[in-house]
Amino acid sequence: MKLSEIIDVLDASIWVGEDQLDKEFSIAGAADLMSDILAKLAEGCIFMTGLVTVQSIRTAAVSGVGAVVFVRDKKPPPEIIEMAREEEIPLLSTPCSMFVSCGRLHASGLTGLDGSR
């Protein structure tokens, strides 16, 4: 699934990644606990979180996460947007809750980090 399709499915706004709209995704993970991403194979995933901190972006960067989505309409402050831009990690915000975000992406065919449906 392309980043552009994910934006549509989640009614998301895009802060970083306008130049990566064709980037492909097949796995997703949702976590407010950074170790849930750090201790998994999260390479290239969509990482949904309600935690808008610089550590969410650094966690994504060291884990090789493919894109970060802030749920429940949380808007990132400038320093977080800047960090995602430096790391070239697409950054989105969706008005959907964590539950609904996951449901929509699952219904669109994405799997969990371990490939399960």
Partner 1 sequence: MAALRKTFRINKKDFIHAGEASISVKNLLKSLHVDTKLIRCVSVCGYEGEMNVVMHGGEGILSVEIDREKVILEISDDGPGIENIDLAMQEGFSTATEEQREMGFGAGMGLPNMKRNSDHMTVESEKEKGTQIRMSFSMADEKGE
Contact footprint for partner 1 (CB under 8 A): 31-36, 38-39, 43, 49, 51, 53-56, 58-59, 61-64, 87
CB of 117 to partner 1, least distance (A): 25
CB of 84 to partner 1, least distance (A): 12
Closer residue to partner 1 in complex, CB, 58/109: 58
CB of 77 to partner 1, least distance (A): 12
Q: Which of 6, 65, 9, 73 shows the shortest CA–CA distance to 36? A: 65
Nearest-angstrom CA–CA distance, 117 and 114? 9
Element of type H or E holding 8? helix 3-9
